[in-house]
Structure 1
Amino acid sequence: MSSATMSAQDAENARINAENERLRRRATTRRRIGLGFSYLALILITILMLFPLLIVLLVSFTPNAITQTWPPKVIPSEFTLDNYIDLFGRLPIGRELLNTIVFAGAVTLISVFFDSLAAYGLSRVDFKGRGILLSVLIATMMIPSMALLIPVYKLLANMGLVNSYLGIIIPRMADVGGIFLLRQFFISIPKDLDNAARIDGAGEFRIFAQIILPNSIPAILTVGMFNFMGNWNDLLWPLIMTSRPETRTITAGLAMLTGHGSSVTPYGVVMAGALISALPLLVVFFFVQKRFVEGIAMTGMK
């Protein structure tokens, strides 16, 4: 091969390498720009999501006279603890928090247990009519909860369960949404594990307790988190079923702040109560957020 041919080939290789380097730099630049826009979008979304909580925090330390002014001030000119003092003077917050913990915690534990049992039967046990039963359960989700409110209340009132923990807990002891969510997760677990356990002499409940549940922790925590948040923030049902502070939840108590006949709503006091009510949920989510996101991502995968 002549020196002229080698020089031409070297020049071509150098040109190709330079072009590849240019394309690599362009791709890297585009990727960095894309990541920059993604991070910027995430920051903006985070600010938008945290903005209402920030407003609640600021208003809870704002004197009530300032909260009534127009236009409203995002950052108040002065801060006070009077709203929290007034809140504890108006409501038995400690008792209502305890009632809410009992209500939401008991409903979460009981409903997760029953939901997981039902989901196991609908996903791992073959029996006649399983598909029809699942269809009927899903169809019940289309019934408005308001349509069942009066019949359920009258039934519990006839049983003498108004103003009691049992009265607000019993109707929430199972949830079709939780059953469906857990069923979808249980389907993704290989059935070979069940068959191997049956060969070793394990019964259905042992398979459920020792195989299915340990492999379904993310989904169970997800369902539990949904149940806990939903019942913690529930207003209508506790407001109807409880009228005494001994059994009233904190959401029902906060609703009472605007029902004392005053034409001026104590926004600072209400926001102070809302902040106290939200703090336990933030703490719970902080500890289970990793499993919660994992359960959302994995549920329904096969």
Structure 2
Amino acid sequence: MNVWRRLSSVALVLLIFSLIFFAGGCRASKSPLQPESAAGPLKIYTTFYPLYDFTQKIVGDRAVVENLQPVGVEPHGYEPSPQQIASIYTGKLFIFLGEPMDPWAKKIEGQLNAKGVMTLEAGKGLIENNDPHIWLDPVLAGEISRRIYEAVVKVDGDNKGYYEKNLQELEQKFTMLDKQYREALAGVTRKDFVTSHAAFGYLAKRYGLEQIPISGLSPQQEPSAQQMAELITLCRSKGVKYIFFETLASPKLAETLARETGAGTLVLNPIGGLTPEEIKAGEDYFSIMAKNLASLKQALE
């Protein structure tokens, strides 16, 4: 009899939960995925870290910015889950870079616009030769930030003055960063630097340097044995002192090249995302770019 009572109680609990779930589903079905109401907080979604960081610095405490890329995940080739994609439809603004970095975003842009969600392809017209790493050039990063500001103001004009002030402060930081790079790298004796993957083309072009990448535009585009042999010969002939590796990609190829050429290793961070340790330490785009400059100076002197 006790067993029967326990079974009846369990069945009753399950029935109640089922009714709650069904009722919630019915309410949701009456209002399909729509942007948040005007009374709710401004919610913005970004596809990966640099866009998140720039957006957060512009909106401050006047909006909620959510980055779809998980902490510690290399952004190349990353695609969000169906649940994450569904959440984008509840926001007011969706910011992505462009097809070389986040091709999935372009595919849903039309649907988002139809649902009233504004979208910004921040790298449109800036990306060259299918290379998405424009944020590593401080001048182009400043242009990306201005585009973000303009999009934010379109969805929240009431706080335009606040956003404009934050943008001006951000632009001053980019100007100072560009000045620091120009001054520090103007007198280096070497111009060639070896990177884990081809992420620093825009930065190299801006400051008169030449990157020699181990892998392609994505860390997943690894070199063949013949290409590695050619890199070893090239590094020896140029007297390369350091091989750069990254925080979110495997350092094995960089370590192999360093071992074969007698070079040391240093971190040159493409800032596609942050590690948990970097977040805990309070790192951001500017602090990591400063560390990158110190590493470049050490390698090129």
User: TM-score by structure 2 length?
Assistant: 0.21
When you count helix as a share of all residues, which structure comes out higher? 1
Bigger strand fraction: 2
TM-score by length of 1: 0.21
